Amino acid sequence: MKKLINYALALVALMFFTNCGDNNNAKNSGAMSASKAEQVYVAPGEHDEYYAFFSGGYSGNITVAGLPSGRMLKEIPVFSQFPTSGYGYSEETKAMLNTSFGFVPWGDAHHPDISQTNGELDGRWIFINENNTPRIARISLATFETEEIIELPNSAGNHASSFVTENTEYIVAGTRFAVPNPQRDMPISDMKGEFKGPLSFVSIAEDGRMNLEFQLNMPGFNYDLAHPGRNKSHGWFFFTSYNTEEANTLMEVNASQNDKDYIAAVNWQKIAEYVKNGGGKKVSGTYAHNIYDEKTHTATSTIKEGVTMVDPREVEGAVFYIPIPKSPHGCDVDPSGQYIVGSGKLSTDLSVYDFDKMITAIDNKDFVDNSYGIPVLSYENTLAGVVTQPGLGPLHTEFDGKGNAYTTFFISSEVVKWSLETFEVLDRQPTFYSVGHLMIPGGNSRKPFGKYLVALNKITKDRYLPTGPELEHSAQLYDISGDKMELLSDFPTHGEPHYAAGIRADIIKKKSKKYYELSENEHPYVAKNESEAKVTRNGNEVHIRMTTIRSHFAPDNIEGIKVGDKVYFHITNLEQDFDVPHGFSIIGANTSEILVMPGQTKTIVWEPKREGVWPFYCTDFCSALHQEMQGYVRVSAKNSDTPLKYTLDE
């Protein structure tokens, strides 16, 4: 049997590679392809070895795939409304998308990061930043639901986020666009010295709750990316910054003038201590803090006011700048915490800094300059080494935990493997095409899993069947277990994955929730069995507590609703079984359907506009009699006296 499968696979692979021969060089065909196909093949009914969480970029969400297969497992709605489940449409979840600017139905999600304990991925939560309306979200990896979103005031373009320290003490957020702080009406051309680049530090409690502890009021450069120190460098955070020129027009030219920009090295432990002892100043800043409660199945949004702002010059020995060539992007720390890799986008070399040397330079006050009162360390005396001419346009680096680093090069379109010992290039593989980020499961922790590497490419072109002008971005999976990287497969992603986070599946799998306990449901409009189903009127507001079970609604016939009413359908799914959702939709609703998980209650609002008898139905094919899962609402004229009546099986 196995032989037969192998043969079939070889044949398929052979056909594939002969058909698309123009994209793949000749040595990829034949027997080699068969073995590659086997490496990514997950037989029907079997599970992938890793979960990979891809940011959706402008989709605002996260998509989950399995590795090595690349099969898409789920899309988790985070910052964008999602009609597939009703997230952001249902009465319970609208509050998740509330901000100080009001309801924002969309976001630009960039960098997911999984919580850690002792520097290792623990699979409790995944965090992700939103760039446009600065926010951070926390998603439970038991339910795969977004549980919390916190907005970041005084910030603009939250890009250097949402990276987690090694015991999930803090998560950071940067300000990609320098802005007036506090915001005010002023001429743009006066930005120099006037705009600021606050860095936000959000603490994470034992139960995951986020709290905006303080902001560090940095000079008005663009803070692009960040990573926490680990092991020996735990307690520090490193941020790349560009536009130290503080230009505001024709940025592609004017922000590329300085030979060097900076990496900001921030001792957050020192600052947290300073704040704990009453340091910093309370300044204004309005932000929303949204929390989803798993018991009531309902989110609440609280608007908060005020934040502790810390002047970096006031905390002795806490903030330094390290010069780095040419508009850096990625800022990555190796598993030992010794090396900090800065990727100067316009530089031909890759600068690697040594944490010990940095500390020595700080102790010796080996400063070459200061920038707005922040000491600038010497480039030469903090440098561990340089990877010379590795490629063009370096963006991001990940690590395999075996002494190697892997850097993406956007312009030369390749992934380059180099040694953390000798800084020599060991291998290079082309990407198809123009790779942005890359991900090694656990590559951003003390213990990377080191088996696979995923390249997240920006340009897809001819990799798949054409789908009009827009193609999904392409990911590529490499086997990195040997000396040389081996390209195994291509698979499409969704939105624009800027980063991904991967984790061994068994860490999450065993804790994954199968359904919500009905007995623990504390939703104010829950109906825990059919006898609790009812319809109540309060003026023109009608609340319908409705239950679902295979395969009917209770009640399924409702009369006495009037034009101009505001009707709330509170649907409780009575099922207590894995993977049996029921859906609900009704004609003329100005919102989406809702998908209700077993044991959960969800609400949609319907405002009937015309008299008549209007059907509703279950949107999820739940049983052989799913098509029978329907009901009617009779809507009478505004001034009619049709009595309120509801039935199930009269």
Q: List residues near ligand RUQ by CB under 6 A.
A: 110-111, 159, 329, 395-396, 436-437, 498
| 382 or 547: CB nearest ligand CUA | 547
552 binds, among ligand CUA, ligand RUQ, none (CB under 5 to 8 A by kind): none
Q: Are 202 and 172 contacting, i.e. CB atoms less than 8 angstroms apart? A: yes
- Candidates 520, 587, 575, 568; CA nearest to 547 is 575
In angstroms, rounded to a whole number, what is the distance separating the alpha carbons of residues 237 and 258?
Answer: 24
In angstroms, rounded to a whole number, what is the distance separating the alpha carbons of residues 94 and 300?
Answer: 9
Per-residue b/e over 512-547, b at no fewer than 16 CB within 10 Å? ebebbebeebebebbbbebeebebeeeeeebbbbbb
Q: Are 290 and 335 contacting, i.e. CB atoms less than 8 angstroms apart? A: no
Minimum distance, C-beta of residue 579 to ligand CUA, in the bound complex (Å): 12
Among 494, 528, 537, 626, binds ligand CUA (CB under 6 A): 626
Size of the site for ligand CUA (CB under 6 A): 9
Does 618 bind ligand CUA (CB under 6 A)? Our answer is yes
In angstroms, rounded to a whole number, what is the distance separating the alpha carbons of residues 310 and 302?
Answer: 24
Minimum distance, C-beta of residue 572 to ligand CUA, in the bound complex (Å): 13
Torsion angles phi and psi, residue 474, rounded to 5 = -105, 140
| 148 or 224: CB nearest ligand RUQ | 224
Q: Please tell me whether the peptide bond between 551 and the residue prior to it is cis, using omega within 30 degrees of 0.
A: yes
Minimum distance, C-beta of residue 587 to ligand CUA, in the bound complex (Å): 17
Single out the segment in contact with ligand CUA by CB under 6 A; choices: 30-38, 373-381, 603-611, 618-626: 618-626
C-alpha distance from residue 438 to each of 73, 165, 274, 331, 476 (Å):
20, 20, 36, 13, 9
Minimum distance, C-beta of residue 630 to ligand CUA, in the bound complex (Å): 9
Single out the segment in contact with ligand CUA by CB under 6 A; choices: 388-396, 442-450, 588-596, 622-630: 622-630
| 77 or 436: CB nearest ligand RUQ | 436
Residue 99 CA to its chain's centroid (Å): 18
Q: Please tell me whether the peptide bond between 433 and the residue prior to it is cis, using omega within 30 degrees of 0.
A: yes
> How many other CB atoms are found less than 10 A from the CB of residue 313?
14
Q: Are 359 and 377 contacting, i.e. CB atoms less than 8 angstroms apart? A: no
In angstroms, rounded to a whole number, what is the distance separating the alpha carbons of residues 567 and 562?
Answer: 9
- One-character DSSP codes across 539-556: TTEEEEEEEEETTEEES-
| 181 or 592: CB nearest ligand CUA | 592
Question: Which positions ≥6 away from 155 have C-beta within 8 Å?
Answer: 134, 173, 174, 175, 179, 198, 200, 215
Q: Are 324 and 351 contacting, i.e. CB atoms less than 8 angstroms apart? A: yes
Does 620 bind ligand CUA (CB under 6 A)? Our answer is yes
| 390 or 393: CB nearest ligand RUQ | 393
Does 594 bind ligand CUA (CB under 6 A)? Our answer is no
Minimum distance, C-beta of residue 602 to ligand CUA, in the bound complex (Å): 13
In angstroms, rounded to a whole number, what is the distance separating the alpha carbons of residues 540 and 327?
Answer: 60
Single out the segment in contact with ligand CUA by CB under 6 A; choices: 154-162, 432-440, 498-506, 613-621: 613-621
Does 576 bind ligand CUA (CB under 6 A)? Our answer is no
- Candidates 496, 312, 314, 330; CA nearest to 397 is 330
374's tokens: 């922040």
94 binds, among ligand CUA, ligand RUQ, none (CB under 5 to 8 A by kind): none
311 binds, among ligand RUQ, ligand CUA, none (CB under 5 to 8 A by kind): none
| 324 or 571: CB nearest ligand RUQ | 324
372 binds, among ligand RUQ, ligand CUA, none (CB under 5 to 8 A by kind): none
Q: Using CB under 6 A as the criterion, what x/- string covers residues 535-564 for binding ligand CUA?
A: -------------x--x-------------
Does 270 bind ligand CUA (CB under 6 A)? Our answer is no
Does 210 bind ligand CUA (CB under 6 A)? Our answer is no
395 binds, among ligand RUQ, ligand CUA, none (CB under 5 to 8 A by kind): ligand RUQ
629 binds, among ligand RUQ, ligand CUA, none (CB under 5 to 8 A by kind): ligand CUA
Helix (H, G, I), strand (E, B) or coil at 275: helix
Minimum distance, C-beta of residue 408 to ligand RUQ, in the bound complex (Å): 8
Single out the segment in contact with ligand CUA by CB under 6 A; choices: 153-161, 170-178, 401-409, 615-623: 615-623
Does 602 bind ligand CUA (CB under 6 A)? Our answer is no
104's tokens: 């924002």
| 97 or 629: CB nearest ligand CUA | 629
Minimum distance, C-beta of residue 544 to ligand CUA, in the bound complex (Å): 17
551 binds, among ligand CUA, ligand RUQ, none (CB under 5 to 8 A by kind): ligand CUA
CA angle at 309 for the pair 304 and 315, rounded to the nearest 5°: 150
Minimum distance, C-beta of residue 188 to ligand RUQ, in the bound complex (Å): 25
CA angle at 575 for the pair 573 and 577, rounded to the nearest 5°: 135
Does 622 bind ligand CUA (CB under 6 A)? Our answer is yes
Among 281, 522, 621, 647, binds ligand CUA (CB under 6 A): 621
Phi-psi category of 317—alpha, beta or left, where left has phi over 0 and alpha has psi -120 to 50? left
Single out the segment in contact with ligand CUA by CB under 6 A; choices: 240-248, 283-291, 474-482, 617-625: 617-625
Minimum distance, C-beta of residue 449 to ligand RUQ, in the bound complex (Å): 21
Q: Could you say which DSSP state residue 296 is in?
A: T
| 404 or 603: CB nearest ligand CUA | 603
Cα torsion 214, 219, 224, 229: sign = negative
Does 582 bind ligand CUA (CB under 6 A)? Our answer is yes
Does 225 bind ligand CUA (CB under 6 A)? Our answer is no
Minimum distance, C-beta of residue 576 to ligand CUA, in the bound complex (Å): 15
437 binds, among ligand RUQ, ligand CUA, none (CB under 5 to 8 A by kind): ligand RUQ
Residue 222 CA to its chain's centroid (Å): 21
| 434 or 548: CB nearest ligand RUQ | 434
Q: Are 201 and 169 contacting, i.e. CB atoms less than 8 angstroms apart? A: no
| 63 or 591: CB nearest ligand RUQ | 63
In angstroms, rounded to a whole number, what is the distance separating the alpha carbons of residues 173 and 259?
Answer: 26
Minimum distance, C-beta of residue 626 to ligand CUA, in the bound complex (Å): 4
Helix (H, G, I), strand (E, B) or coil at 97: helix
Q: Are 172 and 185 contacting, i.e. CB atoms less than 8 angstroms apart? A: no
Does 629 bind ligand CUA (CB under 6 A)? Our answer is yes
326 binds, among ligand CUA, ligand RUQ, none (CB under 5 to 8 A by kind): none
Q: Which residues bind ligand CUA (CB under 6 A)?
A: 548, 551, 582, 618, 620-622, 626, 629
